[in-house]
Amino acid sequence: MKHTTRLFVNGEAVEVPVGSTVLDAATEIGVDVPTLCHEPRVDPMGSCRMCLVEIEGQRRLQPGCKFVAQPGMVVHTDSERVKRHRRLLLSMYLADHAVDADGLPAERGVGNQLRQHVLDHGTGPALPSIEADRTYRVDHNPYVHFDPEACVLCNLCVRYCDEVEAVSAITLANRGSQTTIATADQRGLLDTTCEMCGGCIAVCPTGAMTEKPSIGSDWRQEEKVRTTCNFCGVGCQLDLHVNDGKVVRVTSPDPGQTVNDGNLCIKGRFAYEFVHHEERLTTPLIRGDDGQFRQASWEEAIQVAARGLLGVKERHGADALGFISSSRCTGEENYLMQKLSRAAFGTNNCHQCAAT
């Protein structure tokens, strides 16, 4: 049985696994098909219509994110028909979207994919603005902000909450031009099953979902620094967004790259205030003969700790020592702690707080 499908995208042959979509095939050869509602961790929906492509033999344009590739299929992703569709579609989005003084989709502190699509593909004729009352209850949760005027109803946040987090805290509400993202009975997120993971923010293509603590920060001025979350031992990778020497937001690497597959919990995404807390210790402290703490270098602090442990061992034996590791450490760090206990000091009195 053949496990691949061969088709043609913009005249170039491409072979993809059976069951792959047209979008998968285009991506395989580096052809950029614009999308708004597509995300690899959730099932394709085809609601945004940005990824429509022309397939020979098909009367209508088809959504590349859902249409399954077939042997011998001939696909055009950049034909005049497709370009005309994109321009008109973007005009329709602009009629129902908050814009800035230049008539472009407004930035929300993060990159707005709709804005970039307008810049890349242009628009068709200007359409009358849609006046709609998208009633949204003010939510006093500390982390997630939602602006209904920036929402394009791609439903990504709802699908992520349902399919990835299995929480289903948010949903689509109302009908027609008044459709918006909401919760059951318009409850605040803290009164729902929401875990405040911020995944809805991560998948939102327009910035309609944003982090409350970082509102006002310009993503174009931010520098990303990759690090490891220190709240548990899973080893989730984080991207710290630094502006003017201060962490202003936390995101995760793209799906499929790291152990957390683009996901974060509430601690990893939002509990970064301690980094700049005024009471945070940034220099080792050693208690002097007068009983008061004084600042010291790391080398001096390690030497003092080592002399103290060795002194206990000499006076009372190795089993008078005990080593306790933390569940916030990585697996590698916990391994080194037990190695320090057994190999360096000769005792098996080693414990880890997660075992209690």
pLDDT given at position 108: 74
pLDDT given at position 197: 95
pLDDT reading at 150 higher than 70: yes
| Positive or negative: CA dihedral 4, 8, 13, 14 | negative
Average pLDDT of the residues in 296-311? 95
The 10s digit of each residue's pLDDT in 68-98 is 999 999 999 999 999 999 999 999 999 988 8
Claim to verify: residue 340 and residue 252 sit in the same structural domain:
no
pLDDT given at position 332: 87
pLDDT reading at 356 higher than 70: no
Query: 199, 161 in Cβ contact below 8 A?
Result: yes
Strands annotated E in 151-292 = 171-173, 180-182, 209-211, 223-228, 237-243, 246-251, 285-287
Q: How many angstroms separate the CA atoms of 228 and 224, rounded? A: 13
CB atoms within 10 A of CB 322: 11
pLDDT given at position 166: 95
| Positive or negative: CA dihedral 94, 100, 251, 221 | positive
Match 């077939």 to its residue by tokens: 70
Average pLDDT of the residues in 205-230? 89
Claim to verify: residue 257 and residue 293 sit in the same structural domain:
no
Claim to verify: residue 274 and residue 333 sit in the same structural domain:
no
Claim to verify: residue 296 and residue 274 sit in the same structural domain:
no
pLDDT reading at 47 higher than 70: yes
% of the chain with per-residue pLDDT over 90? 71
- At 287, the pLDDT band (50, 70, 90 cuts) reads very high
pLDDT reading at 288 higher than 90: no
150 within some domain: no
pLDDT given at position 136: 64
Final residue of a structural domain among 97, 121, 145? 121
pLDDT given at position 353: 79
The 10s digit of each residue's pLDDT in 27-42 is 999 999 999 999 999 9
pLDDT reading at 135 higher than 70: no
Claim to verify: residue 249 and residue 276 sit in the same structural domain:
yes
Residues 282, 287, 292, 297, Cα dihedral to 10°: -40
Tell me the CATH number at 255: 2.20.25.90
pLDDT given at position 44: 94
- At 263, the pLDDT band (50, 70, 90 cuts) reads very high
207 within some domain: no
Query: 206, 105 in Cβ contact below 8 A?
Result: yes
Query: 315, 342 in Cβ contact below 8 A?
Result: no
pLDDT reading at 133 higher than 80: no
Final residue of a structural domain among 230, 263, 280? 280
DSSP H/E element including 12: strand 12-17
pLDDT reading at 351 higher than 70: yes
Claim to verify: residue 20 and residue 112 sit in the same structural domain:
yes
Claim to verify: residue 259 and residue 225 sit in the same structural domain:
yes
- At 301, the pLDDT band (50, 70, 90 cuts) reads very high
Domain count, the chain: 3
The terminus-to-terminus CA distance of the chain in angstroms comes to 52
Q: Structural domain of residue 322, as residue ranges?
A: 285-355
Claim to verify: residue 110 and residue 17 sit in the same structural domain:
yes
Q: What angle do CA 154, 214, 111 make, to 5 degrees?
A: 40
pLDDT given at position 256: 87
Final residue of a structural domain among 104, 121, 138? 121
Tell me the CATH number at 37: 3.10.20.740
pLDDT reading at 132 higher than 90: no
168: left (phi > 0), else alpha (psi -120 to 50), else beta? left
Claim to verify: residue 24 and residue 57 sit in the same structural domain:
yes
Query: 268, 250 in Cβ contact below 8 A?
Result: yes
Average pLDDT of the residues in 137-146? 88
185 within some domain: no
326 within some domain: yes
| Amino acid in the structure at residue 258 | T
155 within some domain: no
pLDDT reading at 186 higher than 90: no
pLDDT reading at 134 higher than 80: no
333 within some domain: yes
Q: How many angstroms separate the CA atoms of 239 and 331, rounded? A: 21
Which one, of 62, 108, 308, lies nearest residue 214 by Cα? Answer: 108
Claim to verify: residue 304 and residue 256 sit in the same structural domain:
no
Claim to verify: residue 15 and residue 90 sit in the same structural domain:
yes
pLDDT given at position 305: 94
337 within some domain: yes
Cβ within 8 Å of residue 177, ≥6 positions away = 96, 130, 132
Tell me the CATH number at 324: 3.40.50.740
pLDDT reading at 142 higher than 90: yes
Average pLDDT, the chain: 91
Claim to verify: residue 342 and residue 233 sit in the same structural domain:
no
48 within some domain: yes
